[in-house]
Amino acid sequence: MADKDLRMQAVDLFQVAVKAADPAGAVARALKADPIAPFGGKLIVLALGKAACAMIEEALRHLPTPTRALAITNAENARDIDGVDLLIGEHPVPSTGSAAAGAALLDAVSGLGPEDRVLALISGGGSALAIAPVAGISLTEKQQANGILLGSGLDINQMNLVRQCLSRTKGGGLLAAAAPAQVRALILSDVIGDDLRVVASGPTVGRVGSAAEARDVLHKAGVWDDIPEAVRHHLEQDTAPPAAREAQNQIVGSNRVSLDAVAAACTDAQIVEDELTGDVADAAARVLQAMEASDGPQTLIFGGETTVRIKGDGLGGRNQELALRVALGAQHLDGDWVFLSGGTDGRDGPTDAAGGLVDRGTIKRMQAAGLDPQAILDNNDSYHGLQAAGDLLTVGGTGTNVADVQLFLRRS
């Protein structure tokens, strides 16, 4: 195994990235720089996503007492906050709790007037945590469609294009429901490139595209026939995206901010790529190329969000699979090195790990445990492979989410 200090350095740098995405600090900076001016109507404060509790708790320190405050998050990041209604949804596949949360969102903004204000605090995970399917699509059908999307290999932009077409809150739906009240949103972006239509599926922004474009994406991914019939029927209506209302949408944290923080914490650091996206195998090849080109002590930094096309029935996530692919391809690399790939929310896929932390001995340790690394990858079972090698990255829920960070540390 690589030197323990080197592995600890990698984890410490990952925590630097997480800290830079601290949702409370991001909200505080935004509301101090641009406070909400006094007005005569109602104030509705809504927080949606994995960072919802941290964001709304901090926001309330800078606001007058709201008419209503509602936070929607997942169980791991949920906590009671005085004066805040708390609802818990499921991620990454929505649940009945997610449906209740979606209904509560719409109820919270119904009947508002032009003198009223809505402050929305948006973070990653919101797409699944609160859902309000369009008429004709049941919760079960929405769950089935979401599960198919997650295993399709589509990127987050493509998945959210489809999700928006099936929802009354996504793609500007919440903004429309709040009319004619003024809406301001503080957004912690978990999307590479920071397209605000994609973060939590853009409830205060607008749609990525049309139903026709969503159909095209599903056909190209080869999953159109797997989608429930009611969903296909709705998408075949080919309705144009509704015209988006104006809202004050502001990014308060992002993946690039976290990468810059890591770079600032190292004297030998280089941000190699801040859009490590696409198929996980292709991303692993790009990482390996950069690793092989490195010379001497160095810290290479990557950020992004890859996709995995699920073909097996194993357990894992995109970061764990990326780490295992890199370990398999870098066995020949000389010197003491480690590679970390982790989700800044502390969760990778449907597992308790944030990702993987591998070194030149990872594959040998797996083989010593009686496992075939290539067979593990073929079955999308990276969790159990890395677990056998002692190479899971486990940090617990972080309360934030700005996509993924990858680090390569080489010291000799």
Same topology between domain 4-17+256-410 and domain 22-253: no
pLDDT for 194? 92
What average pLDDT score do residues 214-233 get? 96
Report CA 126 to chain centroid distance, whole Å: 9
What average pLDDT score do residues 327-350 get? 95
The β-bridge partners of 269 are: 299
Residue 377 has pLDDT above 70, yes or no: yes
- Angle, in degrees to the nearest 10, between helices 382-389 and 318-329: 60
Report CA 268 to chain centroid distance, whole Å: 28
Length of the chain: 412
pLDDT band at 241 (very low <50, low <70, confident <90, very high): low
Nearest to 235 by CA among 247, 246, 225, 248: 225
**What is the DSSP-derived secondary structure letter of residue 45?**
E
* 166 and 145 Cβ atoms separated by less than 8 Å: yes
Helices (H), 192-247: 211-220, 229-235
The separation between the first and the last C-alpha atoms of the chain, rounded to the nearest angstrom, is: 15
State how far the Cα of 194 lies from the Cα of 178, in Å rounded to an integer.
24
Residue 242 has pLDDT above 70, yes or no: no
Give the rounded percent of residues in the chain with a pLDDT score beyond 70: 98
Task: Write down the residue that tokens 């007005």 correspond to.
Answer: 39
Burial class (CB within 10 angstroms; exposed 0-12, middle 13-18, buried 19+) of 392: buried
pLDDT for 2? 60
pLDDT for 243? 67
The pairing of strands 269-279 and 117-122 is unpaired
Helix-then-strand count for the chain, H and E: 16, 12
Predicted TM-score (pTM) above 0.85: no
Tokens at 191, concatenated: 């999307």
What average pLDDT score do residues 210-229 get? 96
What average pLDDT score do residues 294-316 get? 93
pLDDT band at 4 (very low <50, low <70, confident <90, very high): confident
pLDDT for 238? 66
* 408 and 294 Cβ atoms separated by less than 8 Å: yes
Nearest to 165 by CA among 104, 217, 207, 127: 207
Residue 112 has pLDDT above 60, yes or no: yes
Superfamily (CATH) of domain 4-17+256-410:
MOFRL domain (3.40.1480.10)
What average pLDDT score do residues 306-326 get? 96
Q: Does domain 22-253 have CATH number 3.40.50.10180?
A: yes
What average pLDDT score do residues 352-374 get? 97
State how far the Cα of 348 lies from the Cα of 393, in Å rounded to an integer.
10
| Average pLDDT value over all residues in the chain | 94
* 25 and 406 Cβ atoms separated by less than 8 Å: no
pLDDT band at 296 (very low <50, low <70, confident <90, very high): confident
Burial code of 356-390, b = ≥16 C-beta within 10 A, e = fewer? Answer: bbbbbbbbebbeeeebebeebbebbbbbbbbbbbe
pLDDT band at 335 (very low <50, low <70, confident <90, very high): confident
* 119 and 204 Cβ atoms separated by less than 8 Å: no
State how far the Cα of 255 lies from the Cα of 375, in Å rounded to an integer.
32
pLDDT for 92? 85
What average pLDDT score do residues 330-337 get? 92
- 137-159 confidence digits (pLDDT tens): 999 999 999 899 988 999 888 99
pLDDT band at 399 (very low <50, low <70, confident <90, very high): confident
Tokens at 331, concatenated: 């066995």
- 48-102 confidence digits (pLDDT tens): 999 999 999 999 999 999 999 999 999 989 999 999 999 999 988 889 999 999 9
- 325 Rama sector, left if φ>0, alpha if ψ -120 to 50, beta otherwise: alpha
pLDDT for 321? 98
pLDDT for 156? 85
Domain spans in the chain, listed from the N-terminal domain onward: 4-17+256-410, 22-253
Tell me, what amino acid is at 103? A
pLDDT for 295? 83
